[in-house]
Amino acid sequence: MCQALAPADTHRPDAETDAFEARLVNALNEGGLMLLMSIGYRTGLYERLAGQPPLTDVEIAERAGLDARYVREWLGGMVAGGVIELDPATRRYRLPSAHAALLTDADGPNLAVYAQFFALLGAVEDDVVRCFREGGGVPYSRYPRFHEVMAADSAQTVLPALFDAILPLAPELPARLEQGIDVLDCACGRGRALLAMAERYPASRFTGYDLSTEAIAWAQARVAESGLANVRFATRDLSDFDASAEPAAFDLVTTFDGIHDQARPLALVRGIRRSLRPGGVYLAQDIHASSHHHLDREHPLGTLLYAVSVSHCMTVSLAQGGEGLGTMWGRERAQALFAEAGFTTVSVHQLEHDIQNDYFVCRAE
């Protein structure tokens, strides 16, 4: 309808509408930036640009071994998004060192890793929309790269802090691992945490279970390459772990971001309790959130994590006929679940480097 034919006040947005419109326009731009950033990460463009003098688009493409026309268009998006600088006179592009520090692996966490979620989860949007209408869920098989991306995430949140910050949350663990204990990682993914522990603590014995045959195959290949004799991996459905877990078989059980997307999370945690020996410890990393939507408004990654939940964590659980806890199930529900599974003492920790996760130390004493 032409504004001139409508009542004037129906087409005059108030300040709140103006502000929300500006926010949405910005979100559209930032969403586009995430798609381009994922491409930059996967093609290695940021690594090729980091620490380099200003380069032409052709020089950048040659260094990266990529098609120049695609690189030129990508560079346009990076310039428009304020990520890469362009000198119009020389037509040369430069990645500022302050930006390279956050977009490459050279100096701390690489935030470009997380840009991959947008394209990865967008690829299943049709499936998710169908589930909104019909119920059910989207199976793991529809996410061919998810374990790859999660392994990159874990490499930045778990691995750098594993020995100095995470394991010492239970103060006795480092010494016990040195002496030799039995360790299980449930929902281990590609098993990078177990592989690191197996190398660090040769006197201990390590086992990893995951539902994904692809992830377990990757882990087994790394074991073969490394020659480690104290770690093994197996594909296993843990939905009946409360009944199938070997009693008193392990001294330490870990889950890294592995509970909330299980089909039967309580059964898994009960199985973990069953599998622990007296004095054993269950160390769980899971998403930092509240179990109440209004308390998540201040979460620095809240909206992103709800998007991940709708498009992956909740729906893959529902696809198995599971509970569908979702990514943002929250600290309160987690503590209640651990208590229901038989853990009498649960302490909750946050680590300075990791705004995304809580760390729970669970004991049955």
One DSSP character per residue, 67-113 reads -HHHHHHHHHHHHHTTSSEEETTTTEEE--HHHHHHHSSSSS--THH
CB 142 within 8 A of CB 135: no
Tokens of 205: 């014995």
Going residue by residue through the chain (365 aa), what tens digit of pLDDT does each one get?
444 444 545 555 689 999 999 999 999 999 999 999 999 999 999 999 999 999 999 999 999 999 999 999 999 999 999 999 999 999 999 999 999 999 998 877 899 999 999 999 999 999 999 999 999 999 988 998 888 898 888 888 899 999 999 999 999 999 999 999 999 999 999 999 999 999 999 999 999 999 989 999 999 999 999 999 999 999 999 999 999 999 999 999 999 999 999 999 999 999 999 999 999 999 999 999 999 999 999 888 999 999 999 999 999 999 999 999 999 999 999 999 999 999 999 999 999 888 889 999 999 87
Predicted local distance difference test score (pLDDT) of residue 10: 54
Q: How far is CA 44 from CA 39, 49, 50, 68, 93, in A?
A: 8, 9, 10, 14, 16
Kindly state the DSSP code that residue 255 receives in the 8-state scheme. Answer: E
What whole-number distance in Å separates Cα of residue 76 and Cα of residue 311?
Answer: 30
HSE-CB at 346 with a 13 A cutoff on CA atoms is 20
Nearest to 66 by CA among 43, 37, 33, 94: 43
User: The pTM is what?
Assistant: 0.88
Predicted local distance difference test score (pLDDT) of residue 153: 86
Nearest to 251 by CA among 275, 286, 232, 285: 275
What whole-number distance in Å separates Cα of residue 46 and Cα of residue 149?
Answer: 17
Instruction: Identify the three-state secondary structure at position 117.
Output: helix
Instruction: Identify the three-state secondary structure at position 50.
Output: coil
Q: Where are the beta strands (DSSP E) in the chain?
A: 85-87, 92-94, 182-186, 205-210, 231-235, 250-256, 276-287, 345-349, 357-363
Which residue matches tokens 């990520």? 83
Dihedral of CA 22/24/25/30: which sign?
A: positive
Kindly state the DSSP code that residue 160 receives in the 8-state scheme. Answer: G
What whole-number distance in Å separates Cα of residue 55 and Cα of residue 49?
Answer: 8
Predicted local distance difference test score (pLDDT) of residue 347: 97
What whole-number distance in Å separates Cα of residue 279 and Cα of residue 176?
Answer: 11
Predicted local distance difference test score (pLDDT) of residue 3: 46
What whole-number distance in Å separates Cα of residue 310 and Cα of residue 117?
Answer: 12
Question: What angle in degrees, to the nearest 10, is found between the helix axes of 331-340 and 265-275?
Answer: 50
264 CB-near residues (< 8 Å, 6+ apart): 239, 240, 242, 322, 323
Predicted local distance difference test score (pLDDT) of residue 13: 67
64 CB-near residues (< 8 Å, 6+ apart): 43, 44, 45, 48, 71
